[in-house]
Structures are given as structure tokens and as C-alpha cells.
Amino acid sequence: MPVKVMIPTPLRPYAGKRDSAEFQAKTVGEALGHLTTEFAELRKHLFTEEGKLRSFVNVYVNDEDIRYLAKENTPTKDGDTISIIPSIAGGCN
Amino acid sequence: MADESTLWISGHLAEKIRAHGAETYPHECCGALLGRDSGVVGETDPEKVAATPQREILGLFPLVNRREDSPRNRFSVTSDDVLAAEKEARAHGVDVVGWYHSHPDHPARPSEYDRDHAWPWYSYIIVSVQNGAPQEMTSWRLNDDRQEFSPEGIEIRHRAAV
């Protein structure tokens, strides 16, 4: 069973309306790379122009935030679930 | 050029957003918009289009602004808050379709900060609160290229019960 990437609602229109996708991947970064290769329009919403995950994109491996693990180098194995959870921010100036 | 999308919201819910902005003034308020999209996009029958909203707000999930360091000009909804809003939406058979927040003593127009932090697909309702009194309320959706928001029409009404 490969790694499953759960796609949040606001990004599903850019992923063929799918709520998940599965890939063979050894790290979170590899899985997100496959995701944005298959669904290229997702890239700009997940990553800055410098290739960093946007600050409001939260990524979990089996409910653990990758910020507290090895970030995009967090290892993944078959059967793991990667969840992309938005946080929301804004302000008047 | 795409036609402007339209959001339906009842007068009652619109007033609740405005009241939340007044309650938290001079700080920004925030909350989730619960509702659903219809299949009217692409429909050409004008009667069907007029009778069915593209997106309808059916409930709100008010949240606490987590930006305790700068609540007068910033709001923040954590991923835990997002998950709580989604759980509430599911419990009522609807979706989280967007977010609302207030602009204390600023216009109801998205800022560059709003744009930089926005997600596509969501509706972003902004209510301007001037000297504690809610004023204009607008809605916006981020363009696919992330370069700007497009305005979204707000219709204050709700469908009759069937």
C-alpha cells in the first residue's frame, strides 16, 4: 500500500476533484513532489516561488506535524497518510 | 473573463457576522462560513440560475482570533480550528466554504497580506467596522494565479424551505 496524500477541499478543483492521491515515496518531500508533478496547478498554492512550503500549509504524517519531525525530509513508508491541513490568516494592512 | 460568482446568505447570518465584528472591535474577528456549492455553474437557463445560488452560506462557526500579538490588524485560524470547523460542517451535512473576518477602521477590501495568505476556492467575507459600527460587507475569491482576488456578489436572501 503506497503513501496516501489527503487533498484539502480548497485544492481539490486543481486535482481533478480528488480528495486523495497515492504515491510511492520515501519522504514527505518526495510525496509532495509527485503530487505537484501529477497536478501541476497545485504547486503555486502549496509552495512559494523559492520552493518552500507556504506558512499556512500544514503537513502531517499520520497526525504528526512535520515541523516537529524532519520537515520535508520526514521519512514515509507504505501505508502512511500525509494530510495537508490549511491554516487561515489575513488582516487589514 | 469569468462571470462574477455569487454568494447567497440570509440576512440573519449576515447580521451575525457584522455583530461579531462589532463585538471584537477594535480587534479583528474571524470565523468559518458553512454552506454548500450548487451545480448551477454552467447552467444556462436563466430561471434556474436565478433560483439556485452558486454558493450558499447556511451557517457560521465563529472562532477566536489566535493573533494575540497583533489582533487589531491581523487574524489567524489554526489548523486545529480549521479541523473543528470542518467537523462542525460535517455534523450539519455541509462544508466549510470560506472564512469571514473584520477590518477595524479599514475598508472591506482584501489587503496584500490577505492575498498572500489566501487559499483558492474559499469565499472570503470581509466586514469593515468603523468606530465600532459595522459598515460595508464584501466577499472575495482568490484567482487561480494567486495574483489578486475577484469580487464575489453577495445576495442577502435564502431559498424557501421545500
Asked whether residue A75 is domain-assigned, the answer is yes
Provide the residue range defining the domain that includes A56. Answer: 3-86
Asked whether residue A91 is domain-assigned, the answer is no
Asked whether residue A93 is domain-assigned, the answer is no
The answer to whether B48 and B54 have CB atoms below 8 angstroms apart is: no
Asked whether residue A28 is domain-assigned, the answer is yes
Asked whether residue A56 is domain-assigned, the answer is yes
Asked whether residue A92 is domain-assigned, the answer is no
B75-77 and A88-90: which strand pairing? Answer: antiparallel
| Mean pLDDT in residue range A36-49 | 96
CATH number at residue A25: 3.10.20.30
pLDDT tens digit string along B77-109? 999 999 999 999 999 999 999 999 999 999 999
Residue B162 has pLDDT above 50, yes or no: no
| Mean pLDDT in residue range B9-32 | 97
Q: Please report the pLDDT score of residue B37 as a whole number.
A: 92
User: Looking at this predicted complex, what is its ipTM?
Assistant: 0.94
What's the gap in Å between the CA of A11 and the closest CA on chain B?
7
- % of residues, chain B, pLDDT over 70: 88
Domains in chain B, CATH or no CATH each: 6-156 (3.40.140.10)
User: For B44-79, b where at least 16 C-beta lie within 10 A, e where not — what string?
Assistant: eeeeebeeebbbbbbebbbbbbbbeeebbbbbbbbb
* Number of separate domains in chain A: 1
Contacts of A55 in chain B (CB under 8 A): 117
List the single best residue of A46, A49, A92 to mutate versus B (max B Cβ within 10 A).
A92
Residue type, B131: N
Contacts of B86 in chain A (CB under 8 A): 9
Please tell me which of the candidates B67, B74, B119 has its beta carbon nearest to residue A86.
Answer: B119
What's the gap in Å between the CA of B68 and the closest CA on chain A?
13
pLDDT: which is higher, B54 or A52: A52
d(C-alpha A14, C-alpha A42), whole Å: 6
Chain B residue set in contact with A, beta carbons under 8 Å: 28, 30, 67, 70, 73-79, 81-83, 86, 95-96, 99, 101, 103-106, 110-111, 113-114, 117-122, 124, 144-146
pTM of the predicted protein model: 0.92
Q: What is the distance in angstroms between the CA of the first residue and the CA of the last residue of chain A? A: 47
Q: Please report the pLDDT score of residue B41 as a whole number.
A: 56
Whether a cis peptide bond, with omega within 30° of 0, leads into B151 is no
